[in-house]
Amino acid sequence: MHHEFRICVSECPNACSRPQIADIGIIGALRPRVSCQPCTGCGVCISACIENALETQRGACAPGIDKDKCLMCGKCISACPSGVLCEDRKGWRIQVGGKLGRHPQLGKELEGTHSKEEVLAIAERCVDVYFTHTFLLQ
């Protein structure tokens, strides 16, 4: 069997180490949330988000977060001068099953933001499955 099991880690969603095409891809994540602090309406957070995941909502005093568009990079949190956007959960996104070769495919993302301990447990289970199936094929 011709295969090289790869685990890639990227600290941010720019994913320079190409975790999307690894057997296990681990990507740093910082999920934002709207706090109780008063919003000044300056729009700096909206300008900082290159994914257009933040939008002003009519009648709302803080921006809305589109969770489908948000890549959890945390740029909006660091850009917000009034502290309206703050950290909800810091951790890791996990993608599994990515590969190149004759039939390339991007990894499938496991739902959620995972802690370091969860990432290590998931990676260990994936490696166990890989070795179990590799030895069965030989």
34-52 residue pLDDT tens = 998 888 888 899 999 999 9
Residue 131 CB coordination number (10 Å): 11
Of residues 12 and 121, the one with the higher pLDDT is 121
Number of helices (H) and strands (E), helices first, in the chain? 3, 6
From the options 2.30.30.170, 3.30.930.20, 3.30.70.20, 1.10.1490.10, give the CATH code of 7-137: 3.30.70.20
Reply yes or no on whether the pLDDT at 85 is more than 80: yes
Read off the tokens for 121: 């447990």
SS3 (DSSP) at 134: helix
pTM of the complete model = 0.84
Give me the residue spans of the domains in the chain.
Answer: 7-137
DSSP-assigned letters across all residues of 69-122 = T-----HHHHH-TTS-EEEEEEEEEEEE--B-SSS-BPPEEEEEEE-HHHHHHH
